[in-house]
Structure 1
Amino acid sequence: MTPYENFTFFIYLLIPLVPAVLLGILGATGRVRAAWILLSTLGMLQYIARPLDVLYQIVGYLLFQWILVRLYLAYRSRENGKNQVGVFYLMIVLSILPLVGVKLNPSVIALGFWQTVIGFIGISYLTFRTVGIIIEIRDGLIKDIRFLDFISFVLFFPTLASGPIDRYRRFITDLYKPLTRQEYGDLAVHGLDYIFRGFLYKFIIAYLINKYWLDPLNHAFGFLPTFQYMYAYSFYLFFDFAGYSAFAIGVSYLLGIKTPENFDKPFISKNIKDFWNRWHISLSFWFRDYIYMRFVLDSAKKKRFRNRYTAPYVGYFLLFGIMGLWHGIDLRYILYGLYHAGLMISFDFLDRKNRTWKFWGKGPMWDLLAILVTLHFVMFGFLIFSGRLV
């Protein structure tokens, strides 16, 4: 069962949310709320992870990742284990191995009298969370992890399927943070606002776009239908995904967890860098912090490149190449990643040249033009992502 896809799911949501609201109103301690979040996560997992073999896969995956985390924590606690980079990379490879296997070969295997597809909904986002933990252990930011906290963080049911992607230390701080009635009340009001926004985005706007604009274009071909499809698909993708994210954030707030924002008016971005600070924020910031910045800083430290712009440009191809492959190994995803790497490099180059050539001015009209230009470059990227051109 995919979360937030139908109204039946919201009926089931009342089971964990009603007690959570009562605990918040009564001013329950952080430990009591944390215990309820754990129980709610385990309970909702049995509903989301259907059929039963999917639940077995998730449990097996969780135990595998937990063993990796504990082994690496034990290794890092040893004096000679603090500077061994090879073990760190080995742990990263092992952690992403299940995801790589699913992306490359979603096999079907026989289990008794039935068959199952290897892989389950949300495995990508679970992998981000566990890899983030391993990286922060390497950085010395995480010294120890309790198994129950690990479960609550990795399997946190409001964000299980498609994020937003949280960070372990921030999540645990919220998990045990004591909230007064007033503080919880403010959080709950914001949570309800997110949930109503989710209904507006996903079940009204996205539904209408898909039914009356996008779907008819699926059967029309040629330049003009494809041009219209670019707009329809882009707006549908935003409202559908932003609606899902609003639901996830709103439910998290009702549980007392301030899950990070995922969208911030991305279609008014003035350039492509601004867009990636507004679109799928938790994902883009995760890739930025854990891949791009580390590559650039390590390249500077080891003096890999003579030209100071080479490292960030190679970093963009690494960043967006991996992001494209994360979506899948189809050609459209690879092209989408390379396209955005090219956009980032092109913008950086033109932005630097503009300081001397002055071909782009400042002011409201220039800002409006920048928004329109950026919007169309972004939407063309979504057209590539949709597979319509490939």
Structure 2
Amino acid sequence: MKDFNFSIFSGYLSITDSNQSFHYVFVQSQLNNKDNSVPLVLWLNGGPGCSSMIGFLQEIGPFVFLNDDDESLSYNEQSWNRVAHLLFLESPSGVGFSHNPLNITFNDSQTADHNLKVLQEFYSNYPEYQKNPLWLAGESYAGAYIPLLAQKIKKFNDLEVAVINLQGMMIGNGITNLTHLPISQLVYQKQHQLLPPNFDISACEKNVTSEDCKDVNSNAWRITKRINPYDIYGYCYYEEKEVEDEQEWLSEMKQFMLIHDDNIIQVTNHELGVPCVQIDNIQNYLNDIQIKTYLHVDESIQWFMCSRYHNKQFKYVSDPPLVMKVLQEVINYDLYTILLYNGDADSVVPWLDTLQTLQTLNLSITEEWRPYYVKNNQLGGYTQGYSNKLRFVTVRGAGHMVPQNERIGAFYLLNQTLFGQAF
């Protein structure tokens, strides 16, 4: 049995002015835990409404379910705690084991405010990590969470009451420009031969919110319904009720693929489950009474991967123009190292959508598109450098959850980014 030189802490961090309690898991680094130069990575999964315990138990934590059908945890040789402390936060409240007693309807700005308060509470409980370099990391809707939290931290630091040592951020398959995303999804599907060559997407290119575009998307989903949208070369688990009521299923897919009628997306209660994704092992593990005791969480809470599908109290309103505005502002600070990375087998947030976002932001290219190589000189993907300390990277063969599909490649991205090493 391997001896481990790190500890794992779990419990609640509270916001006293609203009675919300946020479940967190803190994993010490395998490096010297008394060294203030060891990075601290705050990890957020997306949704909105999906639990960061997925990141902990399936992606970057030290003990994970390596395969979808594993019944027990295995040591993760590519755990990110090899080089950093890891703080997993179930946010907003109402997600996972976190409490939302006031039945709050969340939005992007409010969630960032809460995440900042929770981070301050973490430092109050663990003051020895206050000076460590902080990195914000996550995937999917964390593409909104992270820039807004970075902005809040910058404004907090400007008050000079205390300083949070934010150094940068890493966003995987991040949702940033929801206005363009539906078009990117269709283009990606056509480029990868998931749709017929003559499949017409011009209605969406003209007006993404039109009724004709909605029909295009519905037809595309009918054609691709047995393809895992998060990993087009991966396995698709599905429910028979998808077939029983196709209209209900299409309505659910509209939410999953984040198609919207205007600039605001409202996420409410859903029952279908995440398309093609099977996480029974994690769900059974986290709902075991003994595990809940170990984690110091409320035993009465039933854990689900994404609260928006099971918790009628969880409601979220997204504001895409705000996210783009803040992302531009954070980049313009020119203070933080920013890595935007995409698994190239993801059709939910395709790599070309992130590239479109970068083009919208009018950044200067400082390093032309080129390949990079990982273990045994294998092609890891492609990268392009931009002004203001920003880099874009694709990860070959990875889906929406890069650290799950390509553990070696994801750890390479982390290591090179945290320590300023060349790709």
Q: Normalising TM by the smaller chain, what interval?
A: under 0.3
**TM-score, with length taken from structure 1:** 0.26
Higher normalized strand content (fraction of residues): 2
Could you say which structure has the larger radius of gyration? 1
Relative contact order (alpha carbons < 8 A, sep ≥ 6): 1 or 2 greater? 2
